[in-house]
Chains A and B, each alone.
Chain A
């Protein structure tokens, strides 16, 4: 079997309503921009993947990846990985290109990728990941809805100029619903969304102050309290806490950085993302390192439903993953349905608040071709028929 063609479609989907992500500092994000990636083989099997990115990823794949994938056997994933790893020296990170290869292997085997990897489970508990900064009153209403929808856990964003104001959201929710819901908090201090002009960094004393308050309120984890390469600061913070876990890693890239984060004891919970941080198969190596160090994984996933699917398969395949991120924050434009609008079937939770791995070969993705075609802004093809 050989790879014949690599196609990247940059797709700019609309959101139905405004969306003000906390990390974008007031900006309205009216769209979902992504790259749909297809790796076609001479046997008729096509592997599907996606980038949480725009044309910079498509061009990077076109220049630095596709020419070296064409003619290769897609099932030799470990042989192709160095191409992806070294692409980051000059190009945009495209670890996401490992995903279509595993989709092909799964389709050949006729197995969901989770089971190809010795599946640990067929479902993972979702936490409802919110994205906007809202008042305590509105968040109490949201949490009541979220509980009625079946979720068992929710994540809030801390982005007020004075983070002590953010604590009021957690206090109000605990007062209203008690311990009926697990609460996570994300400070997004590891790195801002590129270009947003630097962010108000907490510094170690503020991170510790907030963490101690969250510990008192029985919060499960605090995510990204410090910059993504502040290995010493993260370890110091973690050493000063008892029941509150420290989580992070979505903005770290490459196995070597995750090894550092693990060896230096920065986090209790590692959060690489199969579209952003490392290849989806390589993340199993991170999971193994974490397992042997007594740490958990909780993959980051934002961006789009294809990425969520990759992270779902990975999460279900490993023994040390308790929660999967499930982005969903109505009444803003960012809902589960909007997130998965490139798929014919959006991912949903069951009555226990879990997401199921689809019982289909590969990653089990069925693309909504008509919708993708409608919102495609550019197509980049390398190989046969290009």
Chain B
């Protein structure tokens, strides 16, 4: 038997540069020039190292150091179900660190010598990806982007609705439909569930605005509308969904813990649940959410706008469940190209000619770190 007792937990805060200015639609005038993540490595007695990362800075590293590490050391990494409560209870006082479960399952996959999605009974080896944009851009520029995206091989695009008047955003969808017809599936994200922390509240849509936008998008044959209302407005989401027909409602990236997803499912808030294995719950715990969703006739399409490590973990998760949908592939050059998101990886994930993203055929989550780049951009090291 391979000795899987945990001997070390190391967190490193990385401040990675972006190739160009990035103006996230949800950031309200913020210009983002870097990507701050906390790389987490869990080592076991046999020498195997499980890898994960938080989309966070020192607050996550300290939370792991204080509330997680002391209680993982000496435990068996091969028993994540015994350890996952440590992660969910860390959130009572600390930053959410559900991402640590990824490292434990990475170890399990490496011990088994199998990709994690197969360990979990794979449903697919590749998933149709949608190109997730992140900025609000003028219509002409976005039409050029769409042509490039089509040339790249994508079959779907996600657009951000963040104009002061959402009718301006609807005009963009009309223009994309007009120019490309049904060659490009269109998804829309309103980011109303919660802005990036600290950005001082956002221009909140009312229920009426959400319904009007939803009806327009339905007319334009959009696939889904994401986060039209605040993340805990269970009743409002349920009402909105009841009023719509072919347009799906999606959301969940900012909800935390299995119990919130149970509420979202039981109350019929969404057609497509979008938890993120880095942000919302443990990666295996999200399989429980997927099972609840499956039984309720809903889909699960993980949010992945974090970093390349999170993208891979969420890819394995989605490829292990039968009720997956379009897979989020963040790619918004020049500030936020997919290669920037994956700059800590040796192999940068990219779509194939069918616009699909393949699950790496390597043990664990198939995360191969670019150690040289990581060393170069490490700003804090919470070593074992």
Residues of A within 8 A of B195 (CB): 86
A195 engages B86 (CB within 8 Å): yes
Q: Nearest Cβ in chain B — how far from A300, in angstroms? A: 12
B92 engages A56 (CB within 8 Å): no
Beyond A195-B68, A196-B71, is A56–B198 a contact (Cβ under 8 Å)? Answer: no
Beyond A54-B62, A59-B58, A194-B86, is A90–B93 a contact (Cβ under 8 Å)? Answer: no
A195 engages B198 (CB within 8 Å): no
B92 engages A191 (CB within 8 Å): yes
Residues of A within 8 A of B263 (CB): 260
B89 engages A56 (CB within 8 Å): no
A194 engages B93 (CB within 8 Å): yes
Contacts between chains A and B (CB distance < 8 A), count: 121
Residue A118, interface by CB 8 Å? no
B197 engages A87 (CB within 8 Å): yes
The docked-state distance in angstroms from the alpha carbon of A88 to that of B279 is: 11
The docked-state distance in angstroms from the alpha carbon of A254 to that of B95 is: 15
Beyond A89-B254, A194-B89, is A83–B82 a contact (Cβ under 8 Å)? Answer: no
B70 (CB) vs chain A CBs: closest residue: A195
Beyond A60-B59, A198-B82, is A93–B198 a contact (Cβ under 8 Å)? Answer: no
B197 engages A195 (CB within 8 Å): no
B193 (CB) vs chain A CBs: closest residue: A89
The docked-state distance in angstroms from the alpha carbon of A82 to that of B231 is: 13
A192 engages B66 (CB within 8 Å): no
Residue A220, interface by CB 8 Å? no
Q: Mark B195-220, 1 if CB is under 8 A from A, else 0.
A: 11111110000000000000000000
Q: Nearest Cβ in chain A — how far from B278, in angstroms? A: 10
Residues of B within 8 A of A82 (CB): 200-201
Beyond A92-B93, A256-B232, is A197–B86 a contact (Cβ under 8 Å)? Answer: yes
Q: Nearest Cβ in chain B — how far from A235, in angstroms? A: 14
A61-69, A141-149, A172-180, A357-365: which one contacts chain B?
A61-69
Residue B257, interface by CB 8 Å? yes
Residues of B within 8 A of A196 (CB): 71, 86, 89
A80 (CB) vs chain B CBs: closest residue: B200
Residues of B within 8 A of A254 (CB): 232
Q: Nearest Cβ in chain B — how far from A55, in angstroms? A: 5
Q: Nearest Cβ in chain A — how far from B346, in angstroms? A: 27
Q: Which of A63, A87, A229, A276 contacts B57 (CB 8 A)?
A: A63
Residues of B within 8 A of A79 (CB): 201
Beyond A196-B71, A198-B86, is A56–B66 a contact (Cβ under 8 Å)? Answer: yes
Residue B96, interface by CB 8 Å? yes
Residue B194, interface by CB 8 Å? yes
Q: Which of B66, B67, B198 contacts A87 (CB 8 A)?
A: B198
A194 engages B198 (CB within 8 Å): no
Residues of B within 8 A of A60 (CB): 59, 95
B71 engages A56 (CB within 8 Å): no
Residue A251, interface by CB 8 Å? yes
Residues of A within 8 A of B58 (CB): 59
The docked-state distance in angstroms from the alpha carbon of A85 to that of B89 is: 19
Residue B55, interface by CB 8 Å? yes
Beyond A60-B59, A197-B71, A198-B85, is A86–B198 a contact (Cβ under 8 Å)? Answer: yes
Residue A91, interface by CB 8 Å? yes
Residues of B within 8 A of A256 (CB): 232
The docked-state distance in angstroms from the alpha carbon of A254 to that of B94 is: 15
Q: Mark B72-85, 1 if CB is under 8 A from A, else 0.
A: 00010000001101
Residue B353, interface by CB 8 Å? no
B200 engages A195 (CB within 8 Å): no
A90 engages B94 (CB within 8 Å): no
Residue B63, interface by CB 8 Å? yes
Interface residues of A in 334-357 (CB under 8 A from B): none
Residues of B within 8 A of A276 (CB): 92-93
Interface residues of A in 79-116 (CB under 8 A from B): 79, 82-83, 85-93
Q: Nearest Cβ in chain A — how far from B311, in angstroms? A: 18
A56 engages B194 (CB within 8 Å): no
Residue B29, interface by CB 8 Å? no
Residues of B within 8 A of A88 (CB): 96, 197
The docked-state distance in angstroms from the alpha carbon of A209 to that of B89 is: 26
B57 engages A59 (CB within 8 Å): yes
Residue A53, interface by CB 8 Å? yes
Q: Nearest Cβ in chain A — how far from B64, in angstroms? A: 9
Interface residues of B in 89-103 (CB under 8 A from A): 89-96
Known: A87-B198, A89-B96. 19 other contacts (CB 8 A): A54-B62, A55-B62, A59-B57, A59-B58, A60-B59, A60-B95, A63-B57, A83-B198, A87-B197, A90-B96, A92-B94, A93-B92, A191-B92, A193-B89, A193-B92, A194-B68, A195-B70, A254-B232, A256-B232
Enumerate 17 A-B pairs (CB-CB under 8 Å) in ascending A order.
A54-B66, A56-B59, A56-B66, A63-B57, A83-B200, A86-B197, A90-B196, A92-B95, A193-B92, A194-B89, A194-B90, A194-B93, A195-B86, A198-B83, A198-B85, A256-B232, A276-B93
Binding site for A on B (CB under 8 A): 55-59, 62-63, 66-68, 70-71, 75, 82-83, 85-86, 89-96, 194-201, 232, 254, 256-257, 259, 263, 279
